[in-house]
Structure 1
Amino acid sequence: MRVLMIIDGLPGGGAEKVVLTLCEGMQKLGHQVSLFSLRDVCNYSLPPGIDYQVVEAHSSAPWRKLTELSRRAAALDTAIAAAESQAGAFDLIFSHLHKTDRIVARCRTIAPQKLWFCIHGILSTSYLGHRRGLNRWFKRQKIARIYQGKNIVAVSTAAADDLPAQLGITPARLAVINNPFDIAAILQQAAEPLAVAGEAYLVHVGRFHPHKRHDRLLAAYAASGIQASLVLVGTGDEQRIAGVKAQAKALGIDDRVIFAGFQANPYPIIKHARLLILSSDSEGFGNVLVEALLCGTPVVSTRCPGGPAEILQQAGLSQALAELNVASLAETMAAIYASPPVINSQPLMAYDIQPICQQYLALGR
């Protein structure tokens, strides 16, 4: 089977990592995989043997913003036509992330029955949460036009339920497929040496973005009474990071908050942490929770819209869920830190790369 993955760049994010894991897994199962990136941005190592292409459509015209989507869609059409003329038609095409979906929806060379839009987040929270009135209605209509009557893969039941409930979207076909994890590779990478192994610290892994709620995380950490350091792994806008540093100083915890930046291999840091915290307002799935549990690290997560509750309930760790406020998060952090639960890794095997890739490939049959 020939499979095409399309994404708007590969910076250090969870959805981007999922795409690369899918590419590698499908190739190992004997399928031909192409990956088209719509921006020349890649902070990850590419799986060997993947047909990787950057498809860009630059313009210096003063009206370039008005023509951006149609211009980039035309460039993608050309790239797909060229690839299919050389090696045959693609059997399955997956579009990842909303910016990509807006471009792919304008393509003219893709057969609708072969195309699947992959929803990695809670769209209503991400794109409508801060909007009100007519502005919210117009944005809701724009989003619905892209996905209405299309084939959709959602990474969690919550992400799937959000489409009809909040956006009025009725897919042609809908599949809920959780994110894949190369469990053997994660455990191998987690075993690499770490200078601070044995020291007591907490960790948060995620980009500096409003939905990740670093402000809630720091306030809860300060209120929890936990004296172990808090390590923040991730990158983002410098101004936003500066704001988080300012908050840490205002709370009097700046001497215990460590900004570790982007880590190509975060697993040793996760493995040796006493606790991993997820403080988000929404998460399509919650990759880092699965990764931490695979590494044997206890977790605490907000009971936010998305996958975290599904993951932790399936793992038998409902006590690690906190409500969406500082007090509950602080209390849950303190409780789990003081009395870490026993982690049963068996339910996590359902997320292994091979069974998840097989669910994706079955969409083409």
Structure 2
Amino acid sequence: MRVLMIIDGLPGGGAEKVVLTLCEGMKKLGHQVSLFSLRNVCNYQLPEGIDYKVVESTSRAPWRKITELNRRARSLEQAIKTSEKQGGSYDLIFSNLHKTDRIVARCKNLPAEKLWFCVHGMLSETYLGHRTGLNRWLKKRKMSQIYQGKNIVSVSAAVDKDLVCELSVSPRRQAVINNPFDLQAILDQAAEPYLPDTEPYLIHVGRFHPQKRHDRLLKAYARSGIQAKLVLAGTGEAYRIDDIRQLADKLGIADRVIFAGFQSNPFPLIKHAKMLVLSSDSEGFGNVLVEALICGTPVVSTRCPGGPEEILEKAGMGNALAKLNSKSLAEKMAMVWQTPPTIDHQQLKRYDIQYICQQYLSLRD
């Protein structure tokens, strides 16, 4: 089978990592996989044997913003046409992330039965949460038009429900397929040498972004009574990181909060942590929760809109879900810290890369 993945870019993020994992998994299953990036940015190592192309906009015209979506759609269609002329028609085409979807939806010659839009996040939370009135109505209408009558893959049941109920989308076909994980590769990476800290610590892995709610995390940590250090692994805009540093200082915990920056391989840090905490307002899926459980690390998460509730309920860890406030999160952190749960690794096989890839490949008509 010939498969094409399209994405806005690969700057580093959960959805981008999912796309690369899918590419690698499908390639290992013997399929031909192409990956088209709409920006020349890639902070990940590309899987071997993947046909990777950058289809970038090069216009410098003063009116380029007005014509951007249609112009980039034409460039993408031309790149697909050239690729198919060289290697044959694609059997499945997957568009990933909303920025990509806006362009792909403008393409006029992609077969509807082969094209699937992969929704990785809670779109209403991300794009409508801060809008009101006419502004919200117009944005909702624009977004709904992109997905209306299209084939949709949602990474969690909550994402699927959000699209249908909050954005009023009626898909042509729809499927819920959780994110894939190469279980053995994660365990191998987790076993790599790292500089051990003799003191116990807990960890948060994620970019510094308002959705991730580092502020809630720090307030909960300060309130929890846990004296072990808190490691923050991730990067972001400098002013956001400075805001969190200032908050740590204000809360009197600056000496216990470690800003570890971006980790190309975070798994040793996750494996040796006593607990991983997710404090987000919303998560399309919540990759880091599955990754921590694979590494044998207990987790606590907010019961936020998206995948965390689904992940932890299926794993039999629903009591590790906190309300969307620092008091509840602090209580759950203290509980899991004092009494770590038993992790059922058998349950995690539902996320195995081969099993998930087969679900994607079965979408072919």
* TM-score range relative to shorter protein: over 0.9
After superposition, give the CA deviation of every residue in 1:197-232 in whole Å (9 maximum; x if it has no partner).
543111101111111111111111111111111111
After superposition, give the CA deviation of every residue in 1:58-105 in whole Å (9 maximum; x if it has no partner).
222221111111121111111101100000010000000000000100
Other-structure match for 1:164: 164
Shift of 1:284: 0.6
Other-structure match for 1:209: 209
* Alignment partners' CA distance in 2, 1:351 and 1:318: 18
Pick closer, same or farther for the CA change 1:25–1:147 going to 2, 3 Å: same
> Residue 11 of structure 2: SS of its match in structure 1?
coil
**When the two structures are superposed, what TM-score results if normalisation uses the length of structure 1?**
0.99
Letter in 2 for 1:98: H
* Alignment partners' CA distance in 2, 1:267 and 1:340: 19
After superposition, give the CA deviation of every residue in 1:116-156 in whole Å (9 maximum; x if it has no partner).
00000111111111111111100100100000000000000
1:75 is aligned to 2:75: yes
Letter in 2 for 1:200: P
Shift of 1:245: 1.1
Note if contact 1:156-1:307 (Cα within 8 Å) is conserved in structure 2.
yes
Note if contact 1:180-1:351 (Cα within 8 Å) is conserved in structure 2.
yes
Shift of 1:240: 1.0
Note if contact 1:155-1:179 (Cα within 8 Å) is conserved in structure 2.
yes
* Alignment partners' CA distance in 2, 1:95 and 1:262: 26
1:239 is aligned to 2:239: yes
* Alignment partners' CA distance in 2, 1:130 and 1:112: 33
1:5 is aligned to 2:5: yes
Other-structure match for 2:266: 266
Shift of 1:109: 2.7
1:286 is aligned to 2:294: no
* Alignment partners' CA distance in 2, 1:83 and 1:188: 35
* Alignment partners' CA distance in 2, 1:341 and 1:198: 23
* Alignment partners' CA distance in 1, 2:181 and 2:341: 22
* Alignment partners' CA distance in 1, 2:99 and 2:226: 40
Other-structure match for 2:52: 52
Other-structure match for 2:191: 191
Note if contact 1:245-1:254 (Cα within 8 Å) is conserved in structure 2.
yes
Other-structure match for 2:327: 327
* Alignment partners' CA distance in 1, 2:153 and 2:24: 19
Note if contact 1:81-1:109 (Cα within 8 Å) is conserved in structure 2.
no
CA RMSD between the two structures: 0.8
Other-structure match for 2:344: 344
* Alignment partners' CA distance in 2, 1:269 and 1:2: 37
1:35 is aligned to 2:35: yes
* Alignment partners' CA distance in 2, 1:362 and 1:203: 37
* Alignment partners' CA distance in 2, 1:109 and 1:235: 39
Letter in 1 for 2:44: Y
> Residue 292 of structure 2: SS of its match in structure 1?
helix
Other-structure match for 1:297: 297
After superposition, give the CA deviation of every residue in 1:144-193 in whole Å (9 maximum; x if it has no partner).
00000000000000000111211100100000000000001000000011
1:180 is aligned to 2:186: no
Other-structure match for 1:222: 222
Letter in 1 for 2:163: L
Note if contact 1:12-1:262 (Cα within 8 Å) is conserved in structure 2.
no
Note if contact 1:158-1:306 (Cα within 8 Å) is conserved in structure 2.
yes
Other-structure match for 1:86: 86
- Structure 1 gaps of 5+ residues are none
> Residue 193 of structure 2: SS of its match in structure 1?
coil
After superposition, give the CA deviation of every residue in 1:267-308 in whole Å (9 maximum; x if it has no partner).
000000011000000011110000000000000000000110
Letter in 1 for 2:54: V
Residues matched between the structures, number: 365
Q: Percent identity?
A: 70
Shift of 1:266: 0.4
Letter in 2 for 1:296: G
* Alignment partners' CA distance in 1, 2:41 and 2:198: 36
* Alignment partners' CA distance in 1, 2:184 and 2:277: 23
* Alignment partners' CA distance in 2, 1:80 and 1:240: 39
* Alignment partners' CA distance in 1, 2:209 and 2:67: 28
Pick closer, same or farther for the CA change 1:250–1:239 going to 2, 3 Å: same
> Residue 113 of structure 1: SS of its match in structure 2?
coil
